[in-house]
Structures are given as C-alpha cells and as structure tokens.
Amino acid sequence: MGVSFEKIDGTVLIDFETRPTPTPTPDQERIAKLVDPGFGRVFTDHMAVVRYSQAKGWYGARVESRANFSLDPATAVLHYAQEIFEGLKAYKRDDGGVNLFRPDANARRFRSSAERMAMAPLPEPVFIEAVEQLVRIDRDWIPGGEGSLYLRPFMIANEIFLGVKPSAEYIFAVIASPVGSYFKGGPAPVSIWVSENYTRAAIGGTGAVKCGGNYAASLRAQAEAIQHGCDQVVFLDAIERRYVEELGGMNVFFVFDDGSLLTPPLGTILPGITRDSIIALAKESGTRVREETYTIDQWRADATSGKLKEAFACGTAA
C-alpha cells in the first residue's frame, strides 16, 4: 500500500504503508509478558513513523517493525531539546472490541505543544490515524481486565546542526506498551511531599507543554520526595511559592465537605485530558467544580478543620 497526503474540504487524508515485522513475538512469549507487564517495560512489535522536512512537508507515513533510530551526534534534539510527546491508552472491551480514550484531545494538545516549541505542527488527523494504525496491527498486545495498551506518540527535531534555531526536520512516531498499574501494588493512597526548593513552571514558560524538559526538571524534586519516604511530589507556584499547581506527572483535585471539587487553573500546569474529562463529567452530574488557586496553607487548614474531605490526582499513565 502506498503513502499519500491529500486534502478534501480541508481534511487531511492519510494512507500509511504497512510493513508487518518479519519476526513477530511468538504467541507464548507475548502471552507470558501480558500476565504482569508492569509499566513501560514491555513493548509491542511495531511502530508508526512519519517524517517532516521543510522541503517535502510531512511524508513517508508507515507502520513498521519497532527498531532503533540512527541519530547523528549533532542531531538537534540531543542539544536543544526540541521534543514533545503524548500519552493515551487503548482498552479491550468485554466483547473483544477496542476503545481509544479521546485521541482527538491528545492530537490537539500535541499540535499546541509543537507550536509552543517552534516545531512543525502535525495535522490532527495524521496523529489519530497513526495511533489507530498501530493499535490495529498490535491489538493482540492489549491486556485484558484492568490492563491497557499505553500509546506514546512523540516528535523529535531531526536536523543535523549546531546552533540555536528551530529544526527544519522532524520525526513523528508512535510506540506502544502493554501496561498494568503505574504504581506498584495497584491503585492505593499515595503520600505527597511538598517541594520547597524546586518549581515546575512559570508564567510564559512551557508548563502547559508536554515536553521532556518539563519532566526532566521534575526528577530532582521527585527524588527528594522519595528520600523523605513519599510517593510523589507536589509543586507550588514559581513566584509566591504558596499556590498548589500539580504533581510531578499528574493534575490534582480537592474534594470538600459540600461535595464540590476544586482544581488549580490552567496556565502554568499541563492541560490534562483526564483532568478535563473529570471536570466535564462532574459538571454534567451536577457537581460544582471550581478552577481556582489554592494555597498550601489553605490545604493544611481545610484538612485540619474537616472542610477538605480528600484530595486525588489524575493522569493517563497513573
């Protein structure tokens, strides 16, 4: 099957070339891996890849064997961190069908991230088609029960040069990993360490972008949390160091005694797909939801008085 990109009424139509791997994982080995895959350690047989250059635009869309990329030591992503990614899941239904959860929302956020990082914006239909093509060819890797297939779309700057400027070439790819629970032992309460020494983002920065640099910058604070016996870190704002923002990899919600929810407003935090879904579903059910600032002192006082009943965090991976 050849590859083509064309527009009809403004809609991008994509034709992916499919090259099934000549050495698929044996059934018995795959089944054994799906028993307890953990998180992000087991990978499927294929990946979807699309390339970009200023001269050609997006080209070469295909699904092929999962394999290494060959990168020159001067490849831009290695020096200037032009890189973005997404995370979404495919779930196996009881009737054997497969569902993706809001891939259109991930596609929009991916495009927004690309624009902020001065990268070539990927057409949203291309993003969705790449994800769907990979799920189709590797659907046997989707665990049953509480498991899911975690999909990782990402894009890297692929031009070879040294110099601070946007790359003229990019690789977009999607890989997949069958997963169980993000936390060892499955869903359970997690302890939180409030970071006083590190912040995640500031106004005008990349806090709302899903890029690797944001996560790299959170690792020292996460390590500090673990050193203090906690599972996760929560960040405060970068200016006053008192407004709660988000966890290292999750958005946060607070539940009050009147049944209402509060979550920090967008701007310096990641606009989570799960966060957005919770807000929409809560409002639809009649629950009052506030997107407002909330200080660490308020958190402490409300927890002590009983006004705050619980707090929870959310994200696709977790």
Partners of 193 in beta bridges: 233
pLDDT tens over the chain, length 318 residues = 334 445 445 555 678 999 999 999 999 999 999 999 999 999 999 999 999 999 999 999 999 999 999 999 999 999 999 999 999 999 999 999 999 999 999 999 999 999 999 999 999 999 999 999 999 999 999 998 889 999 999 999 999 999 999 999 999 999 999 998 766 666 678 899 999 999 999 999 999 999 999 999 999 999 999 999 999 999 999 999 999 999 998 999 999 999 999 999 999 999 999 999 999 999 999 999 999 999 999 999 999 999 999 999 999 986
Q: Give me the pLDDT at residue 264, please.
A: 98
Query: What is the amino acid identity at position 9?
Result: D
Query: What is the 8-class DSSP label of residue 104?
Result: H
CA separation for the pair 131, 100 (Å, rounded) = 9
Q: Give me the pLDDT at residue 188, please.
A: 75
Question: Residue ranges of the domains in the chain?
Answer: 17-179, 192-314
Strands 308-314, 251-256: pairing is: antiparallel
Whole-model pTM: value is: 0.92
- Residue 225 C-alpha from the chain's centroid: 22
Q: Give me the pLDDT at residue 265, please.
A: 97
Backbone angles phi, psi at 26, to 5 degrees: -55, 145
- E strands present in the chain: 4-8, 11-15, 17-18, 46-53, 57-65, 83-85, 88-92, 98-100, 148-157, 169-179, 192-194, 232-236, 244-247, 251-256, 261-263, 289-291, 308-314
Radius of gyration of the chain (CA): 21
CA separation for the pair 272, 310 (Å, rounded) = 20
Instruction: Given CATH 1.10.10.10, say whether it is the number of domain 192-314.
Output: no
Instruction: Given CATH 1.10.1370.30, say whether it is the number of domain 17-179.
Output: no
